[in-house]
Amino acid sequence: VDKSSSRLTIAIQKSGRLSKESIGLLQACGFKFSLHEARLLAHSSNQPVDLLRVRDDDIPGLIMDGVVDLGLVGENVLEEARLERVATNLPSEFERLRALDFGQCRLSIAVPKEDDYNGIADLNSKRIATTYPYLLQSYLQRQGVKASNAVLTGSVEVAPRAGLADAVCDLVSTGATLEANGLVEKDIIFRSQAQLIQRPEPLSAVKQAIVDQLLPRIDGVQMARE
Ligand code: ATP
Ligand code: ZN
């Protein structure tokens, strides 16, 4: 990515739960894109705007390192990355422009349904499987609970049955996945929705003008579908 470019670069999830709505929102705001499945970069045909299509986990770092101008990402992924970067002394600043009306989910503690569970203190000295070790530990610390992590990037919900952990801390929207794995949701530790974020360094005047035009359009689109 050419940082001196006058084209505004927006990072979105390439394929996943946020992709369709991210592109849909930008299109509803008047940006025209033709997307080619294999391509990382998509140029807008009617605005000096480029879409960078990446894994959602990469978006916070691209913003905090100033590699891209704007990003659309779940608050869960954003806050996890921020906590990790704070802990490892990497740049962790960004600007939050808008909360978006999609990507709603929650990060919850769940335990096997046959377990007797009377609250988070029951997880003292237990092991919890998660993809979000920093969000989990930050919650446990606030609750005064000491538990260890089993960090998995996928299949978190099978960890208790596989004997890897006593509980899980996983994203939930309907609860169907938990139920299918014999788990019961107990504590909501973080509520999330998609966010529009900007890199910390000020934008060039040309880019700022595009953002100034984009924000009221986002407000209009979101208001209309409330
Ligand atoms: P990638 O390949 O980009 O890393 P992923 O598998 O990590 O994709 P998805 O499952 O597509 O991610 O979810 C992306 C984001 O969508 C989540 O981080 C969260 O913010 C949001 N989301 C909304 N509903 C759910 C849900 N039911 N389960 C998981 N994530 C959800
Ligand atoms: Zn991801």
> Apex CA 98: angle with CA 75 and CA 34, to 5°?
90
How many other C-beta atoms lie within 10 A of the C-beta of residue 192? 19
Q: Is 68 within 8 Å of 11 (Cβ atoms)?
A: yes
What's the pTM value of the predicted model, to 2 decimals?
Answer: 0.95
Asked if 111 and 118 touch (Cβ cutoff 8 Å), the reply is no
Ligand 1 pocket member 71 (CB < 6 A) = no
Report whether CATH 3.30.1330.40 matches the domain 105-192.
Answer: no
In short, whether 171's Cβ falls inside 6 Å of ligand 1 is: yes
C-beta neighbour count of 178 within 10 angstroms: 19
Which of 75, 107, 171, 197 gets mutated to test ligand 1 (max ligand atoms within 8 A of its CB)?
171
Residue that the structure tokens 């929705």 belong to: 193
Which is the closest atom of ligand 1 to the Cα of 57?
Answer: 4
Ligand 1 centroid to Cα of residue 102, in Å, is 11
Residue 128, token pair as written in the block: 């919890």
For residues 29 and 216, give the distance between their C-alpha atoms in angstroms, rounded to a whole number: 9
Which residues are bridge partners to 183 per DSSP? 112
CATH class label, 8-103+193-224: alpha beta
Stretch(es) of the chain classified as CATH 3.40.190.10: 8-103+193-224, 105-192
Q: Is the CB of 76 under 6 A from ligand 1?
A: yes
**Residue whose structure tokens are 């979105």:** 12
Q: Are 47 and 212 in contact (CB under 8 A)?
A: no
42 lines ligand 1 (CB under 6 A): no
130 CB within 6 A, ligand 1: no
CA gap 47, 30 in Å, rounded: 9
- List the pLDDT tens digit at each of the 226 positions of the chain: 455 578 999 999 999 999 999 999 999 999 999 888 778 999 999 999 999 999 999 999 999 999 999 999 999 999 999 999 999 999 999 999 999 999 999 999 999 999 999 999 999 999 999 999 999 999 999 999 999 999 999 999 999 999 999 999 999 988 899 999 999 999 999 999 999 999 999 999 999 999 999 999 999 999 999 8
State both tokens at 204.
Answer: 């060039």
Query: What φ, ψ does residue 135 adopt, rounded to 5°?
Result: -60, -40
Asked if this assembly's ipTM is beyond 0.90, the reply is: yes
Residue bearing the CA closest to ligand 1, atom 21? 103
178 lines ligand 1 (CB under 6 A): no
